[in-house]
Structure 1
């Protein structure tokens, strides 16, 4: 793809395990229906997007339905994704029952949240609370 072919909102799919693992080391934000992981991908000229839904979530038709709903939400929010970043959506069971408009609104809010500068008073990304000193 050349620079003239690039259109705003163009997304590439993440397919390799290493891409998903790299995104897991980045910023995270979550809602009841899904979690979002994001990390800068400096060599990319478009945003990368990946989806994952674990077997704990349900059987294969349920997992596929969750992924379909998340893909549709990503399409609706395609212009909000930042070029040069990779994103992974981690689907949860609540994605089946959430109204679609809420999925789209939550995704838009989480994209803003993962790119917002972190203040020093926020909880550490590990989620385990402050570190204890010895």
Structure 2
């Protein structure tokens, strides 16, 4: 479960991450990552104190409510385990694609890991 301090809740934050962040897509998910804190020194120090926040978008193309909730729970568990890998103050939006409804937990985790590696510049 994601702690409340690590959840994206405001639509402005979702919009900012999707429009201004970097994007990496895989078979079942698309990740948008906005690393904040590149403005000035004071802003960077303030962002360092903020935790990384994550939000999810699972729309009706994924399936009925039961499937959408299952995908959302699985993605939430995957990202909760990867919170320490995310930069402090970053905004991450995970968008589930229709193929995520048939993907196993391990497949979702592999897709998220691959997208995160690309976004964070790791090989």
How does the TM-score come out when normalised to structure 2? 0.76
d(CA) in 2 for partners of 1:109, 1:11: 25
Q: Does 1:87 align with 2:92?
A: yes
| Higher Rg of the two aligned structures | 1
- Larger helix fraction of residues: 2
Aligned residues: 108
Structure 1 unpaired stretches of 5+: 1-9, 118-134
Q: How does 1:10-89 map to 2 (within 5 A)?
A: 12-25=6-19, 26-42=21-37, 43-44=46-47, 45-89=50-94
**Counterpart-to-counterpart distance in 2, 1:110 and 1:116:** 10
Q: Distance in 1 between matches of 2:116 and 2:68?
A: 23
The answer to whether the aligner puts 1:101 opposite 2:106 as a matched pair is yes
Shift of 1:109: 2.2
What is the aligned-residue RMSD (CA, Å)?
2.1
The DSSP-based 3-state class of the residue aligned with 1:65 is helix
CA distance 1:111–1:11, shift in 2 (3 Å): farther
Structure 1 pair 11/28, CA: closer, same or farther in 2 (3 Å)? farther
